[in-house]
């Protein structure tokens, strides 16, 4: 794909780059294991949310198949490590490839459908794969749950302290930001936006809609599966119901929606704002009062969505558009 080589440096915006750098410094400032744990989850889910945003935000295809990609990635990494002794680093990559295979199957089955039919069919495919994995795990002697042995070491992707996990997830986040940014500089970005605006018009303009969708769906699935693989190694225990969980998927979808879909910063902002809040509500109001935490979280979500339906990023952009000074500052934004 051809890049805008003439303006490639001009397209790098300083504020997002600085913000990302600040996030990178955060683990060294807030070095308490609990804060590092929250940061690890934040970076990991910003990464997965960014991967989902690629197909659903930029491509306009609201996918609920990502629970399957996440789960396939997790199981590939975990089983290769536990049963075959293959390093989780390779497992993450193979899990990503597994995610692509599943994406190709789901894509072929669902891309002819549009809007709600597409959404529901992706959910159905995802749940079918969940059921398959559940059936498979019921046939093995160890049962549904898979425990991953704790052998700290870089090649085992298992560490005695929290910091390495945080750094790795931060690198993951940088990778997805870079991937989305690069895609935005290519013709694929034009095709995705055209498809999102009017699929019939796009196909009549010569865009191979099916191929573009499949490509982006596969990239999105790859990174989601990598995220799933890491999640398995981080928790050292997986079972189909938790790893293929629709609830978990809804969380990172909400992060992207609240932050702002079809923007690079949206999923990151959404996760940075909401994930610590969920941890806070679970820890502070949790226990017997846990439902109250969900209630407050839900109310907050409704307020944010009512105030800025296009997400926090849209709110920021509108502010910049209305104010002259902010308009100038927006040249540094994205």
Partner 1 sequence: MDEKGKPLLDVKDVVKTFGGLMAANHVSFQVMKGEIRGLIGPNASGKTTIINLISGMYSINDGAIFFSGNRIDRLRPDVIASIGIMRTFQISRVFRDMTVLENMMVPSLSQGQTMLKARRRAKELLEFVLLETLMHEPARMLSGGQIMLLQIVRGFMNEHLRLYLMDEPFAGVHQSIKGTILRAISTMNQENGVTFLIVSHEMTAIRNLCHQITVLHEGEVISQGTMEEVASDPLVIDSYLGG
CB 225 within 8 A of CB 96: yes
Does residue 194 touch partner 1 according to CB under 8 A?
yes
Does residue 209 touch partner 1 according to CB under 8 A?
yes
What's the min distance (Å) between Cβ of 145 and partner 1? 46
Nearer to partner 1, 6 or 247 (CB): 6
What's the min distance (Å) between Cβ of 194 and partner 1? 5
CB 233 within 8 A of CB 227: no
Does residue 322 touch partner 1 according to CB under 8 A?
no
Nearer to partner 1, 7 or 147 (CB): 7
Residues 232-251 that bind partner 1 (CB under 8 A): none
CA distance 266 to 274: 12
Nearer to partner 1, 5 or 139 (CB): 5
Tokens 């909401």, residue? 274
Q: Alpha carbon of 115 to those of 15, 211, 258, 311: distances in Å?
A: 35, 18, 20, 20
Q: Give the pair of three-digit tokens for residue 176.
A: 């997805």
CB 224 within 8 A of CB 64: no
Tokens 């749950």, residue? 145
CA distance 226 to 232: 10
The binder of partner 1 chosen from 175, 203, 279, 319 (CB under 8 A): 203
- b (16+ CB within 10 A) / e for 192-221: bebbeeebeebeeeebebeebbbbbbbbbb
Nearer to partner 1, 202 or 265 (CB): 202
The stretch near partner 1 (CB under 8 A) out of 1-9, 66-74, 129-137, 155-163 is 1-9
Q: How many residues bind partner 1 (CB under 8 A)?
A: 22
The binder of partner 1 chosen from 17, 101, 205, 303 (CB under 8 A): 205
Does residue 287 touch partner 1 according to CB under 8 A?
no
Q: Which residues in this chain contact partner 1 in the complex, by CB under 8 A?
A: 2-4, 6, 187, 190-191, 193-194, 196-198, 200-209
């Amino acid at each position: 794909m051809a890049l805008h080589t003439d303006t490639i440096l001009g397209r790098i915006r300083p504020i997002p780059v600085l913000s990302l750098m600040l996030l990178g410094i955060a683990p060294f400032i807030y070095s308490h294991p609990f804060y590092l744990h929250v940061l690890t989850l934040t970076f990991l889910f910003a990464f997965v949310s960014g991967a989902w945003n690629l197909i659903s935000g930029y491509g306009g295809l609201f996918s609920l198949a990502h629970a399957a990609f996440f789960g396939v990635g997790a199981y590939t990494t975990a089983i290769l490590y536990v049963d075959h002794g293959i390093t989780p680093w390779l497992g993450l990559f193979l899990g990503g490839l597994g995610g692509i295979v599943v994406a190709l199957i789901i894509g072929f089955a669902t891309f002819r459908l549009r809007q709600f039919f597409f959404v529901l069919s992706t959910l159905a495919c995802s749940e079918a794969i969940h059921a398959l994995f559940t059936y498979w795990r019921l046939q093995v002697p160890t049962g549904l749950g898979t425990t991953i042995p704790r052998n700290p070491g870089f090649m085992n992707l298992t560490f005695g302290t929290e910091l390495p996990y945080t750094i790795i997830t931060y690198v993951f986040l940088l990778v997805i930001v870079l991937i989305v940014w690069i895609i935005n500089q290519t013709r694929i970005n034009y095709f995705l936006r055209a498809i999102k605006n009017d699929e019939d018009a796009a196909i009549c303009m010569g865009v191979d809609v099916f191929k573009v969708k499949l490509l982006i769906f596969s990239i999105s699935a790859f990174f989601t599966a990598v995220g799933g693989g890491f999640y398995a190694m981080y928790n050292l225990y997986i079972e189909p119901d938790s790893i293929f969980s629709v609830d978990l998927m809804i969380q990172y979808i909400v992060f992207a929606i609240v932050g702002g879909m079809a923007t690079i910063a949206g999923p990151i902002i959404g996760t940075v704002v909401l994930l610590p809040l969920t941890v806070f509500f679970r820890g502070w109001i949790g226990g017997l009062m846990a439902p109250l935490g969900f209630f407050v979280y839900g109310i907050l979500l409704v307020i944010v969505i009512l105030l800025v339906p296009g997400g926090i990023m849209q709110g920021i952009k509108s502010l910049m558009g209305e104010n002259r000074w902010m308009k100038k500052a927006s040249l540094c934004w994205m």
